[in-house]
């Protein structure tokens, strides 16, 4: 079996096993997990960091963590959380992050390498998709505000929609439901 120099470098870097082939559905699944992971990273983004550079920092974090991970899902995830200075308490309570973690944990070693490689290669696209999903969720909440006749609306962990007249009420509710 003859492999190209690029394939050899990726093999040496433990990012791709020679001869491993994946289809479009595998890549789409990796994109879905990546988008979920990025949405979770936005939610646990460090308080001390500049929010204006959030997307760039997440993108660079994917590249940095992917390079250091040697194809290991746990190392990749830990590196990402470190790079965005995630609050560990928020991280372990974030349902999107837990879903992404479970998905990554269930992957084979080859799938983890594909996932990391896909996230690195498509990191800007994945950030755009994550932001687009978040915008759509906000539009849904805006519509709910109108329907409920409330100024502030929140969605509970179980999907329940709750309306509030003041920000103070919303803040109290969030404090009791986090």
Do the domain assignments include residue 101? yes
Over its length of 178 residues, how does the chain's per-residue pLDDT go in tens digits?
566 666 655 555 554 444 445 566 788 899 999 999 999 999 899 988 888 899 999 999 999 999 999 999 999 999 999 999 998 998 998 888 999 999 999 999 999 999 999 999 999 999 999 988 888 877 776 776 667 777 777 777 777 777 787 878 888 888 887 6
What is the distance between the alpha carbons of residues 70 and 17, in angstroms, rounded to a whole number?
12
Do the domain assignments include residue 7? no
pTM of the model as a whole:
0.68
Do the domain assignments include residue 119? yes
pLDDT of residue 163: 79
Number of domains into which the chain is organized: 1
The H or E element that residue 74 is part of is: helix 73-83
Residue 26's contacts (CB-CB under 8 Å, 6 or more residues apart) are: 111, 114
Do the domain assignments include residue 15? no
pLDDT of residue 30: 92
Do the domain assignments include residue 46? yes
Do the domain assignments include residue 40? yes
What is the distance between the alpha carbons of residues 148 and 146, in angstroms, rounded to a whole number?
6
Do the domain assignments include residue 111? yes
pLDDT of residue 172: 85
Q: Determine the structural domain holding residue 57 and report its residue range.
A: 22-132
Do the domain assignments include residue 68? yes
């Amino acid at each position: 079996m003859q492999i190209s120099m690029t394939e050899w470098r990726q093999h040496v870097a433990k990012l791709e096993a020679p001869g491993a082939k994946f289809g479009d559905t595998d890549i789409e699944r990796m994109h879905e997990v990546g988008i979920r992971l990025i949405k979770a990273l936005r939610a646990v983004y460090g308080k001390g960091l500049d929010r204006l550079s959030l997307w760039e920092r997440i993108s660079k974090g994917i590249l940095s963590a992917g390079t250091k991970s040697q194809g290991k899902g746990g190392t990749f995830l830990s590196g990402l959380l470190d790079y965005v200075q995630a609050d560990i308490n928020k991280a372990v309570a974030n349902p999107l992050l837990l879903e992404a973690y479970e998905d990554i944990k269930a992957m084979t070693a080859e799938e983890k390498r594909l996932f990391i490689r896909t996230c690195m290669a498509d990191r800007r696209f994945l950030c755009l998709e994550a932001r687009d999903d978040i915008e759509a969720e906000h539009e849904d909440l805006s519509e709910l505000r109108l329907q409920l006749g409330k100024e502030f609306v929140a969605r509970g962990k179980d999907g329940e929609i709750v309306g509030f007249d003041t920000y103070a009420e919303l803040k109290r509710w969030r404090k009791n439901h986090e």
